[in-house]
């Protein structure tokens, strides 16, 4: 399952714990601790990823903490095993070696071992044939989306894709996107100052925030996920194509460069059912007081005699992508005024010059992404 959908499953579980939605028995018991494992094994280098969390039930809430000391292996049906490593700077996230990629037709599953002796395994899945993403367009609309919370229309960049389908079989897809922007600010401290790599209380009150420039303000890029749940089958275009399909939008908040990557995942039927079920619950299309579909317990099982339940889904996917770069300038339109875009740099005092922050964390990287001019 693509990574960001796991965030939405966390929301589903929290809704279940605090509302009248009832789980399908006997999938799992609310109040009983469990591990939540979400991720994918992909057919392209750099696209495989796993997040591991454990539940903590409080008096009135369900919370999750990241598991940083698990052992993660991707196992191929023929016996090949690939160990994944904990991702630096992103607690609870694991990735394989950079060159790792599954191949079409191969069968893979994930084995996750925990310090308490629990061992979780995902179901064996076959890498689907690669999807075919033909094109990507970005169109600006000054009043492109109505926001109920802000009670007004927002300026957005609509993301439109073209895709084709072979038609030789039933196919299952997810459309998603991510985007990059250049960043000049790499740290903000609220009611404090930035010293020795962290925010600390200010000796003299400084208002509500100070911002700190990146070490190299011209070479810091931040990637953000689209986080959309567009699950589709090829029922409407089997053997044909779809053109100008909107898969999401990006609010116009600031000027500058914008690099967008559209993503199409090829899924197994089981991964599609899991993702679509999650999307339906989040989007409220299951009616009043719906039950959780049995598919949402996922494709993981506890292979040991520990009492921890295992929830989540590890999908084996194929991937196709397209990227497009645009400039957002005065000729584009008027940005949204819902956000404070001003920089509040800590002022120098005497010989003191405020420190700069490294381009790291929260999706930041000093390396120019492919497609950025």
Tell me the pLDDT tens digit for each residue of 105-139. Answer: 999 999 999 999 999 999 999 999 999 999 999 99
Sort strands 49-57 and 34-42 into parallel, antiparallel or unpaired: antiparallel
8 A C-beta contact, residue 251 and residue 140: no
Percent of the chain at pLDDT > 90 equals: 68
Answer whether residue 252 shows pLDDT above 90: yes
* Higher per-residue confidence, 286 vs 271: 271
Average pLDDT over the chain reads: 87
Contacts of 156 (CB under 8 A, 6+ apart): 140, 141, 144, 145, 249, 250, 251, 252
> What are the tens digits of pLDDT across the range 148-171?
988 999 999 999 999 999 888 899
Answer whether residue 104 shows pLDDT above 80: yes
How far is the C-alpha of 171 from the C-alpha of 188, rounded, in Å?
A: 45
| Average pLDDT for 210-226 | 93
| Average pLDDT for 230-240 | 88
pLDDT at 29: 53
How far is the C-alpha of 358 from the C-alpha of 258, rounded, in Å?
A: 21
Answer whether residue 15 shows pLDDT above 50: no
Answer whether residue 7 shows pLDDT above 60: no
| Average pLDDT for 196-204 | 89
Q: How far is CA 358 from CA 180, 342, 361, 364, in A?
A: 17, 20, 9, 9
pLDDT at 10: 52
Least confident interval from 9-18, 79-88, 148-157, 282-291: 9-18
> What are the tens digits of pLDDT across the range 56-100?
877 667 788 999 999 999 999 999 999 999 987 788 999 999 999
pLDDT at 93: 95
pLDDT at 296: 64
| Average pLDDT for 300-328 | 94
8 A C-beta contact, residue 211 and residue 187: yes
* Model confidence band, residue 279 (pLDDT cutoffs 50, 70, 90): confident
| Average pLDDT for 221-241 | 89
Answer whether residue 207 shows pLDDT above 80: no
* Model confidence band, residue 307 (pLDDT cutoffs 50, 70, 90): confident
pLDDT at 20: 40
pLDDT at 251: 96
Please choose, from the candidates 24, 92, 22, 30, the residue with its C-alpha nearest in 3D space to the C-alpha of residue 62. Answer: 30
pLDDT at 129: 95
Answer whether residue 290 shows pLDDT above 60: no
* Higher per-residue confidence, 120 vs 282: 120
pLDDT at 18: 40
How far is the C-alpha of 220 from the C-alpha of 136, rounded, in Å?
A: 25
CA 224 from chain centre, in angstroms, equals: 8
| Average pLDDT for 331-344 | 84
């Amino acid at each position: 399952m693509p990574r960001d959908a796991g965030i939405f499953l966390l929301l589903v579980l929290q809704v279940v714990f605090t509302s009248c939605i009832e789980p399908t028995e006997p999938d799992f018991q609310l109040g009983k601790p469990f591990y939540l494992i979400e991720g994918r094994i992909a057919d392209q280098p750099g696209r495989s990823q796993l997040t591991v969390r454990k539940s903590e039930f409080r008096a009135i809430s369900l919370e999750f903490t990241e598991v940083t000391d698990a052992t993660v292996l991707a196992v191929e049906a023929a016996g090949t095993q690939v160990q994944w490593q904990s991702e630096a700077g992103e607690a609870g996230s694991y990735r394989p070696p950079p060159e790792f990629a599954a191949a079409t037709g191969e069968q893979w599953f994930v084995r996750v071992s925990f310090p308490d002796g629990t061992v979780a395994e995902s179901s064996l899945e076959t890498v689907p044939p690669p999807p075919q993403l033909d094109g990507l367009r970005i169109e600006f609309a000054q009043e492109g989306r109505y926001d109920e919370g802000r009670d007004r229309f927002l300026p957005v960049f609509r993301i439109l894709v073209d895709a084709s389908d072979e038609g030789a079989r039933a196919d299952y897809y997810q459309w998603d996107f991510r985007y990059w922007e250049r960043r000049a600010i790499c740290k903000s401290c609220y009611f404090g100052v930035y010293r020795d790599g962290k925010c600390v209380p200010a000796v003299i009150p400084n208002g509500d925030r100070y911002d700190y420039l990146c070490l190299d303000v011209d070479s810091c890029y931040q990637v953000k996920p689209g986080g959309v749940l567009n699950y589709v089958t090829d029922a409407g275009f089997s053997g044909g194509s779809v053109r100008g399909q909107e898969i999401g939008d990006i609010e116009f908040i600031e000027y500058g460069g914008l690099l967008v990557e559209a993503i199409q995942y090829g899924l197994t039927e089981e991964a599609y059912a899991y993702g679509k079920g999650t999307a339906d619950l989040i989007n409220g299309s299951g009616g009043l007081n719906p039950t959780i579909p049995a598919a949402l317990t996922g494709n993981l099982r506890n292979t040991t005699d520990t009492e921890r339940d295992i929830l989540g889904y590890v999908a084996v996917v194929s991937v196709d992508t397209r990227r497009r770069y645009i400039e957002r300038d005065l000729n584009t339109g008027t940005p949204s005024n819902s956000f404070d875009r001003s920089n509040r740099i800590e002022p120098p005092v005497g010989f003191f010059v405020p420190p700069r922050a490294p381009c790291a964390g929260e999706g930041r990287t000093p390396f120019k992404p492919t497609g950025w001019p």
